[in-house]
Structure 1
Amino acid sequence: MKINLLIKRNPLLKATFLTFLLLLFITNVNATETTLSETWSLLEQEEKAIGFSFDRYLRTEEGYLYTSNGVLQLEILGGPAQKMNIYAELCVDEHYLAKAYKIITDLGGKQNQITGTLTDGQITIVTTGPDGKDFQSVFQPEETGSLYFKESFLNYIAETKGLLVGEKYTAKVWDYGSNSLSNFTFKVEEKATYQYQGEAVAVFSLIEEEPGQTTWLVSADGDVYYSYNPLQNLSARKVEKEEIPELSALSLDVLLVPGNIRITHPFRSLSSKIKVIWEDVDFADFNFTDNRQRLLDHTITATTHEALLEISKDQRDFSGRVTLPLTESKFAPYLADTRFIAPSLPEVKELVKTICGEEIDGWLVTQKILSWLYQNIQPEMIPQTLTTKEILVERKGKCAEYAILFTAMSRAAGLPTKIALGERYQDGVWVGHLWNEVWLGEWVAVDPSHNQLAPDALLLKFVDSPEVMGTQKVRMGLIGKLGIIIEDVSLAEEEKPAVTLHTGIQGQTYTNADYRCRLTIPKGYQLIETEEQGMLMLAVVNTTGPETQIVLLPFSVPEGTIGAQILSSRIPVLGQVLPGFILISQESGEINDYPAAIGTWTYEHGKTFKQQNWIIINNDCGYLFVFNSSTEVWNNYESDFAAIREGFEIVD
Structure 2
Amino acid sequence: MNKVRLIFLVCIALFTYQGTFGQEVERWYTVSMGGSPVGYLLEKNEANGEQHTSLIEMNISIGRLGSTVKMETRTFQTEKEGLLIGINSEMYISNEKKVESVQVMDDHLLIESQGFNKRLPMDSKLTGPKQLEELLRKQIENGRKTVHYTTYSAELGMFMNGSLNFTGTEKVSIKGMEFNAIMVEESIQELPYVRKKWLSKEGMLLKSSEPGPFGDMEVVWTNKENALRALNNSVDLPEDQYGSSMAYANYRLSNPRDLSSIKLKITQKRPEFGFPDFSGDYQDILSKSDKEIILQINKPEITLQNNEPSELEEYLEPNAFLDNSDELLIEKTKEVIGDETDDWEKAKLIADWVRKNMSFDAGIALADSREVIRDLKGTCVSYGILTSTMSKAAGIPSRFLMGYVYVDGAWGGHAWSEVNINGHWIPIDAAVPNDTYIADAARFFMVRSSLKDGMGKANIAGMQLVGNIDVNIIEHEVDGELHTATENPYFIENDIYTNPGLKFAMKKLEGFEFTDVDLFYPENTILKQTKGASEITVGHWTYGSAEEAMASTNRILGQAENSNTLRPVHSGSYEGFSKSSTNETLAVIRDDTKSFFILTSTGPEHSELLAKATEAIK
Question: What is the TM-score normalised by the length of structure 1?
Answer: 0.67
1:332 to partner: Cα distance: 4.3
Which runs of 5 or more residues in structure 2 are unaligned? 1-9, 17-21, 482-496, 507-511, 570-574
Work out the number of aligned pairs and report it: 551
How many Å separate the matches in 2 of 1:552 and 1:55? 52
Amino acid at match of 2:438: A
Contact preservation (8 Å) 1:91, 1:100: yes
Partner of 1:483: 470
Shift of 1:484: 1.2
Give the corresponding residue for 1:463. 447
Partners of 1:205 and 1:72 lie apart in 2 by 25
- Shift in CA distance, 362/625, structure 1 to aligned 2, threshold 3 Å: same
SS of 1:255 mapped into structure 2? coil
Structure of greater relative contact order (alpha carbons < 8 Å, 6+ residues apart): 2
Q: Deviation of residue 337 (structure 1)?
A: 4.0
**TM-score normalised according to structure 2 size:** 0.71
Taking a change above 3 Å as real, the CA distance of residues 85 and 409 of structure 1, as seen in their structure-2 partners, is: closer
Confirm or deny: 8 A CA contact 1:69 1:85 kept in the other structure: no
Of the three residues 176, 199, 219, the one matched with 1:236 is 219
1:615, 1:386 → 2: CA distance? 40
Q: Are residues 181 and 268 of structure 1, via their aligned partners in 2, closer, same or farther at CA, if it must alter by over 3 Å?
A: closer
In the other structure, the counterpart of 1:426 is: 407
Q: Partner of 1:141: helix, strand, or coil? A: strand
Instruction: Give SS of 1:432's match.
Output: strand
**What's the offset of the Cα at 1:58?**
1.8
Aligned partners of 2:549 and 2:595 also within 8 Å: no
Give the AA of the match of 2:316.
Answer: L
C-alpha distance in 2 between matches for 1:379 and 1:83: 13
Write out aligned runs for 1:282-321 (5 A).
Answer: 285-300=275-290, 305-314=291-300, 316-319=301-304, 321=306
Alpha-carbon contact 2:139-2:147 (below 8 Å) kept = no
Q: Which residue of 2 aligns with 1:217?
A: 198
Deviation at 1:445, TM superposition (A): 2.6
> Contact 1:65/1:89 (CA < 8 Å) preserved in 2?
no
> CA separation of 1:434/1:44 partners in 2, compared to 1, >3 Å: closer, same or farther?
same
Counterpart of 2:473 in structure 1: which amino acid? I
In structure 2, the partner of 1:30 is none
Q: Structure 2 CA distance, aligned partners of 1:378 and 1:334?
A: 26
Q: Distance in 2 between matches of 1:292 and 1:490?
A: 15
Q: Which residue of 2 aligns with 1:573?
A: none
Q: Which residue of 2 aligns with 1:67?
A: 55
State the secondary structure of the residue aligned to 1:140.
strand
Secondary structure, counterpart of 1:264 in structure 2: coil
> What's the counterpart of residue 184 of structure 1?
161
Does structure 2 conserve the Cα–Cα contact (< 8 Å) formed by 1:421 and 1:432? yes
1:448 paired to 2:430: yes
Equivalent residue, structure 1, for 2:261 = 271
Conservation of the 8 A alpha-carbon contact between 1:331 and 1:416: yes
Q: For 2:168 and 2:60, locate their aligned partners in 1 and report how far apart those are by CA, in whole Å.
A: 31
Deviations 1:61-100 (A, max 9, x none): 5722333455545232xx2585847462404043342424
- Per the alignment, residue 119 of structure 2 pairs with 140
Q: Is residue 207 of structure 1 aligned with residue 186 of structure 2?
A: yes
CA distance in 2, matches of 1:367, 1:425: 22
Percent of residue pairs identical: 16
The offset of 1:287, in angstroms, is 2.0
Report the residue type matching 2:154 in the other structure: Y
CA distance in 2, matches of 1:565, 1:160: 68
Gaps of 5+ in 1: 1-11, 19-33, 127-135, 495-509, 520-525, 571-582, 601-608, 630-636
Does structure 1 retain, via aligned residues, the 8 Å contact 2:360–2:377? yes
Q: How does 1:605-616 map to 2 (within 5 A)?
A: none
Q: Secondary structure of 2:367's match? A: coil
Three-state SS of the structure 2 residue aligned to 1:344 is coil
> 1:549 offset after TM fit, Å?
8.5
C-alpha displacement of 1:160: 8.7
CA distance in 2, matches of 1:569, 1:223: 59
In structure 1, the residue matched to 2:5 is none
Does residue 1:375 correspond to 2:356, yes or no? yes
Distance 1:567 1:43, change over 3 A: farther
Q: Confirm or deny: 8 A CA contact 2:282 2:299 kept in the other structure.
A: yes
Report the secondary structure of 2:384's partner residue. Answer: helix
Deviation at 1:443, TM superposition (A): 3.1
Looking at structure 2, the residues matched to 385 and 313 of structure 1 have their Cα atoms a distance apart, in angstroms, of: 28
Q: Which residue of 1 aligns with 2:593?
A: 619
Over 3 Å counting, the alpha-carbon distance change for 1:70 and 1:446 in structure 2 is: closer
Give secondary structure in 1 for the equivalent of 2:303: coil
* CA 285–156 in structure 1, closer or farther in 2 if over 3 Å, else same: farther
Shift of 1:533: 1.4
**Number of the residue aligned with 1:55:** 43
532-541 or 256-265, which moves further after superposition?
532-541
1:17: Cα distance to partner?
7.0
CA distance in 2, matches of 1:446, 1:114: 28
Opposite residue 267 of structure 2, the aligned amino acid is: I
Paired amino acid for 1:420: L
The answer on whether the counterparts of 1:341 and 1:404 sit within 8 Å (CA) in structure 2 is yes
Distance in 2 (CA, whole Å) between partners of 1:367 and 1:331 is: 20
Structure 1 residues 345, 591: closer, same or farther in 2, change over 3 A? farther
Distance 1:613 1:52, change over 3 A: farther
Flag the 1:464–1:238 CA change in 2: closer, same or farther, 3 A. same
Quote the RMSD (CA, aligned, Å): 5.3
Go from structure 1 to structure 2 and tell me whether the alpha carbon gap of 1:345 and 1:566 turns closer, same or farther (over 3 Å shift): farther
- Structure-2 residue corresponding to 1:387: 368
SS in structure 2 of the partner of residue 401 of structure 1: helix
Q: Partners in 2 of 1:154 and 1:148 — Cα distance?
A: 6
Which of residues 39, 57, 63 in structure 1 aligns to 2:27?
Answer: 39
**Matched residues in 2 for 1:474 and 1:214: separation?**
17
Question: Is contact 2:11-2:366 (8 Å) kept?
Answer: no
| 1:26-68 deviation digits (Å, cap 9, x = unpaired) | xxxxxxxx98432222323344544333322222357223334
